[in-house]
Amino acid sequence: MKDFAYAKINLFLAVTGRRPDGYHDIASVMQTVSLCDVVTLDAAASASPSATLTCSIPSLPTDSRNLAVKAAYAFMERAGIAADVKIDIDKHIPIAAGLAGGSADCAAVLRMMNDAFSHPLAARELHELARGLGADVPFCLYGGCAVTRGIGDIIEPCDPLPELPVVIAYPHGKISTADAYRRIDETGASQNAPPIAPMTDALSSRRLPQIADALYNVFESVIDADSEPIAVKRILLDCGAAALMSGSGPSVFAVAENDETAERCRRALARHGYDSVISRPTPSRAI
């Protein structure tokens, strides 16, 4: 069977505190978009559990370090089944880019495993399993648009992003998520976050100017003003789009008012040597 593992963008992202276990609490509005990995899974009952992974990107780990493999083993243990599981990922979401590609693949494996074995896990159990695998995995199970809190495991659906083109740009560098969180802790940047309500109100209004005004990502405040993500954001803003870095970066997205503006963004990025893709918001899905 096959599933589409959709990337996510953060329309709003604030860090609200650090937990005793070292994780950070967040308040975020996440939206899935049509940029996706294609995940194929074959599973058959066997005497003992096994999971193997192939991927279109050779540098990506395909052993137990990969969340998709972890998901297969965790599902079998929770459901009390043994199977020979073969997973293939046709990778299109950039790795470590703030778009939750690994979490999306992980969620896709959980959904397909549940389908393959006639739904031995209820939605609540699948959510709990996802929570133990990664902070973005619970949201990626459902997709669509939602307010997420805690470590990303408390999910409240909200009005989605309007059906507008979303340009996703790929700066060349990498940003360490651990370093970004450390800078937030050191600078106290989390204390300056605006409330999340203006973003949810803006989404309810369906008006792009209001949504643009409510975009916020605390991680932008702890990267250098001359860094690539900020330079890419300026290019997109100059094209007339609403732009923001996604997650801890370095990917930057822009919501455009129409296809012409989206194409103008793409061409401007290409002139500066940046790859990009034009995508669309995707709806939530049942699990």
Domain ranges within the chain, ordered by starting residue: 2-157, 166-279
- CB contact burial 54-84 (16+ within 10 A = b; e otherwise): ebeeeebebeeebbbbbbbebbbebbebebe
pLDDT at 68: 98
The reported pTM is 0.96
Which residue is listed with tokens 């100059």?
238
Tokens of 275: 């790859």
pLDDT at 260: 98
pLDDT at 119: 97
pLDDT at 26: 94
Question: Considering only CA atoms, which of 109, 149, 122, 141 is closest in space to residue 285?
Answer: 141
pLDDT at 180: 85
Residues 166-279, CATH architecture: 2-Layer Sandwich (3.30)
pLDDT at 41: 98
pLDDT at 161: 98
List Cβ neighbours of 92 (8 Å cut-off, separation of 6 or more).
35, 36, 37, 38
Task: List residues bridging with 279 in a β-sheet.
Answer: 166
Host H or E run for residue 209: helix 208-214
Residues 2-157, CATH architecture: 2-Layer Sandwich (3.30)
From first to last of its 287 residues, what are the pLDDT tens digits of the chain?
Answer: 999 999 999 999 999 988 888 788 999 999 999 999 999 999 999 999 999 999 999 999 999 999 999 999 999 999 999 999 999 999 999 999 999 999 999 999 999 999 999 999 999 999 999 999 999 999 999 999 999 999 899 999 999 999 999 999 999 888 888 888 888 888 888 788 899 999 999 999 999 999 999 999 999 999 888 899 999 999 999 999 999 999 999 999 999 999 999 999 999 999 999 999 999 999 999 88
CB 180 within 8 A of CB 248: yes
Catalytic positions, written as ranges = 8, 136
List Cβ neighbours of 87 (8 Å cut-off, separation of 6 or more).
39, 40, 41, 51, 52, 53, 54, 68, 69, 72, 109
pLDDT at 176: 82
Tokens of 221: 């405040």
CA distance 140 to 185: 27
DSSP letters for 115-156:
HHTT--S-HHHHHHHHHHH-TTHHHHHHBSEEEEEETTTEEE
